[in-house]
Structure 1
Amino acid sequence: MAQISRDDVAHLARLAHIEMSETELETMTGELAVIVDSIASISQVAGDDVPATSHPLPLSNVFREDVVGQTLTQEQALSGAPDEEDGRFKVPAILDEEQ
């Protein structure tokens, strides 16, 4: 079994700003040890002829041409606005700055 100590888990919890009770620390210590052991056993089985993968099936991005479609006119875009000024949406100020 992997050498994960309660102090290791407490240190990781502090780094992640996660509060953990003593019971949670003990439980997580055992769970992390199992995870580390599982990864170690898989690493032993995988030979040099097995490529590292992040997904069991090959993935590829599907791209399309970036074509401009039908757009709204300024008038259409502002037609549902509760308030507008100078051809722009008018919204309440959220900062304490006068402009």
Structure 2
Amino acid sequence: MSSSAESTAAAGSAGEVRSAAPHLTRDDVDHLAHLARLDLTEAELNTYVGQLSVILDSVAAVTRVAAGDIEPTTHAVPLTNVFRPDVPVPGVSQAQALAGAPSAQDGRFRVPQILGEES
């Protein structure tokens, strides 16, 4: 039986939680690599079989813990409105802003020219 057929058989009826991850073979990884247009070496295929199996086992463990009676959430804690009223406050004056500048001219920051003159 192919792994996709095993996955379908393991899933059972709709809504039923699978208890184990499907068995992943080297041929499955080779097929995935082909679909993704990846040219993997034999060593890479063997490495990815193990790594992808660990990932699938982890997903299966989370699936077992995720009970059907718990509603899915997007945040772990409830969100509250963090907006505040938009109240204007006095800012710094031009003189205060320019006070810390290394160079000022005509009420503006003076900076070195970094671009050539345009024609």
TM range (shorter): 0.5 to 0.7
Given the alignment of the two structures, is residue 66 of structure 1 paired with residue 102 of structure 2, yes or no?
no
Offset of residue 31 of structure 1: 4.4
Written as runs of structure 1 = structure 2, the 5 A alignment for 1:50-89 is 50-89=70-109
Query: SS of the residue aligned with 2:96?
Result: helix
DSSP-derived class of the 1:97 partner: coil
Q: 2:59 aligns with which of 27, 39, 58?
A: 39
Query: Could you tell me how far apart the structure 2 residues matched to 1:29 and 1:58 are?
Result: 39
CA drift of 1:39 comes to: 2.4
Distance 2:113 2:54 in 1: 53
Q: Could you tell me how far 1:29 is from its partner in structure 2?
A: 5.8
Q: Which amino acid aligns with 1:97?
A: G
Gap regions ≥5 residues in structure 1: 15-21
Cα-to-partner distance string for 1:20-52 (whole Å, 9 max, x where unaligned)? xx78x93x76445323332234335432x4322
Number of aligned residues: 84
TM-score normalised over the length of structure 2: 0.48
C-alpha RMSD over aligned residues: 3.4
Using the alignment, how far apart are the partners of 1:30 and 1:61 within structure 2?
A: 45
Bigger radius of gyration among the two: 2
Distance 1:68 1:32 in 2: 55
TM score, norm. by length of structure 1: 0.54
- Matched letter for residue 40 of structure 1: A
Distance (whole Å) between structure 1 residues aligned to residue 50 and residue 84 of structure 2: 48
Measured in 1, the distance between the counterparts of 2:93 and 2:76 equals: 47
Tell me the equivalent position of 1:19: none
